[in-house]
């Protein structure tokens, strides 16, 4: 699964100008790195989960509107990261 910049821009009602597309693409790349490093440096099975894409979209959106994350990561994003970490550690009971 991957996050498509144009689809995210549609969801957020952001003008798809070349400049905005570049910005959102870069933020998705940064969000992906942050999510990956927050969950596991070696495991990757969690990346098949829909929660993974949602976490990337959520973080990219937060970064778009607040580049400094002045209020930190949202509680929802932190919950998603916990779920993904649970998949890696094996503490997620249903494996999803």
- Residue 94: per-residue pLDDT: 52
Q: What is the pLDDT of residue 69?
A: 96
Please report the DSSP string for 35-80 in residue order: HHHHH-SS--GGGGSHHHHHHHHHHHHHHHH-TT-TT-S-HHHHHH
Q: What is the pLDDT of residues 75-88, one digit of tens each?
A: 999 999 999 999 99
Rounded mean pLDDT for each run of 10 residues along the chain, 96 residues in total: 92 96 97 95 91 98 97 97 92 52
Closest by CA to 34, choosing from 58, 17, 5, is 58
Write down the pTM of the prediction.
0.90
The full set of domain ranges for the chain reads 5-87
pLDDT of 1 reads 57
User: How confident is the model at residue 41, as a pLDDT?
Assistant: 81
């Amino acid at each position: 699964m991957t996050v498509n910049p144009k689809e995210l821009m549609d969801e957020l009602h952001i003008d798809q100008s070349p400049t905005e597309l570049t910005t959102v693409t870069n933020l998705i790349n940064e969000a992906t790195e942050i999510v990956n490093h927050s969950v596991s440096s070696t495991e990757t099975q969690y990346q098949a989960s829909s929660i993974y894409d949602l976490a990337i979209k959520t973080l990219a959106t937060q970064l778009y509107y607040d580049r400094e994350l002045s209020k930190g990561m949202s509680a929802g994003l932190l919950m998603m990261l916990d779920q993904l970490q649970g998949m890696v550690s094996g503490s997620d009971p249903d494996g999803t």
